[in-house]
Amino acid sequence: MTATIPFTPAVGGRAPSSSPLRLTLAPAGAPPALIDGAWWPRSRNLTEQLAALVECLDRLWGRITRVAVSRTFWPVIPGEVPGHGHMVRVGWSNAGQDPHKLLLLSYTFGRWDLLVIPPETAPATAARLMAAATDPSRSLTATGLIHEAERFRAAAEAAADSDSLGEAVWDSEGGHDAPHPASRTPDGPVTGHGPPPRQ
């Protein structure tokens, strides 16, 4: 069972946002894995998005002391962000860290690694990634999960395109009213029906 956090953050002393935090964490006692959950930020404004995440996790895990991100997907990386009554240092790496992972350090819980789902990800793909990141049998890295979701999306699109093409061909050939090629007699009248309709 995963824990989805229905937390509505107040960022920078402002009133709580109307958009709750999109965060899923592996349940307490889950076996160790490469990823401890997934975070789906609403934008690439890391200062704002990270402050909301830290505020939530401070309450759950105790004081968050440091965050590390990859520079790959964040246009601006702040040196620190506000936590729950304190400032949290933010570090970054160009090559040493999985670009789809966020590392958090806490005095109480130690280290946590979260999959970062790109903000522009489609909701269905994001939901699949959030479930995969907290699956008890999880064994992929953050980037491995993103690649797996991309392959699934591409396969689903290919299947949908194939179905659409089949429907278009079926319709262009007359659909239900078209004679089946093998059902014509030498005289030409239709003696059978086309394939049954798709369900």
* Integer Cα distance of 7 and 144 in angstroms: 28
Instruction: Return the pLDDT at 168.
Output: 63
Written as tens digits, the pLDDT of the chain (199 aa) is: 344 555 455 544 444 455 788 999 988 777 888 899 999 999 999 999 999 999 888 888 788 999 999 988 888 999 999 987 889 999 987 777 898 999 999 877 788 899 999 999 999 999 999 999 998 888 889 999 999 988 988 888 888 877 666 666 656 666 655 454 444 334 433 333 333 444 4
* Integer Cα distance of 146 and 80 in angstroms: 27
In 10 A of CB 98, how many CB atoms?
20
Instruction: Return the pLDDT at 152.
Output: 84
Strands (E), 27-109: 37-39, 64-70, 80-82, 87-93, 101-106
Q: Are 63 and 83 in contact (CB under 8 A)?
A: yes
Structure tokens at 27: 């349940």
Residue 50 CB contacts under 8 Å (≥ 6 apart), including other chains:
67, 69, 78, 81, 90
pTM: 0.70
Sheet of 87-93, strands arranged across: 3-4, 23-25, 37-39, 110-116, 101-106, 64-70, 87-93, 80-82
